Amino acid sequence: MERPTLGGILRAAFAGYACGHGLTLDQHKAARALIACRTEVLGGYDEECPEGDYAARRYYSCRHRSCPQCNGALNERWLERIKECLLSCAHYHVIFTLRSMKCGITTANGSVSIFFGMRPRVCGNCCAIRGIWARRWG
């Protein structure tokens, strides 16, 4: 039995799915690219062994950024590089913006080094007043 691909699944079910859901133009374009990936639609070439023992038709890839056939290995390599940068313990990544203070902090020394010196006080005040967006990593 042949292993299913995303393109194969989309070829079988996308038309019915698209009728019942309000998809954007970008979503339709992505689906069309994935449906056409490695099919006659994109064209291809013949691959043959000089001795004649092997012959196969190979089709061109869509190269869409969401295509697991085209970018699966690339995505895996990227994920491995990112994993190397993560801390080896559970931690939180906190992101917030200080709009009113931003200009003063960055112009004081041409950098945000002053901010890092006062971050416990700023974080405590900002978190208590406005709330924060936090994401748990690890």
For residue 19, the tally of other CB atoms under 10 A from its CB is: 8
Q: How confident is the model at residue 58 (pLDDT cuts 50, 70, 90)?
A: very high
What is the spatial distance between Cα 27 and Cα 77, in angstroms, rounded to a whole number? Answer: 26
pLDDT of residue 88: 81
State pLDDT tens for residues 67-77: 988 888 888 89
The yes-or-no verdict on residue 89 having pLDDT over 70 is yes
pLDDT of residue 133: 44
What is the mean predicted confidence (pLDDT) over 4-23? 92
pLDDT of residue 3: 86
Q: Which two tokens stand for residue 79?
A: 């994920």
The yes-or-no verdict on residue 101 having pLDDT over 60 is no
Strand runs (DSSP E) across the chain, as ranges?
Answer: 44-48, 55-59, 91-95, 133-137
The yes-or-no verdict on residue 134 having pLDDT over 50 is no
Q: Between 99 and 50, where is the model more confident?
A: 50
Q: Which two tokens stand for residue 37?
A: 């990936």
| Helix/strand/coil for 34 | helix
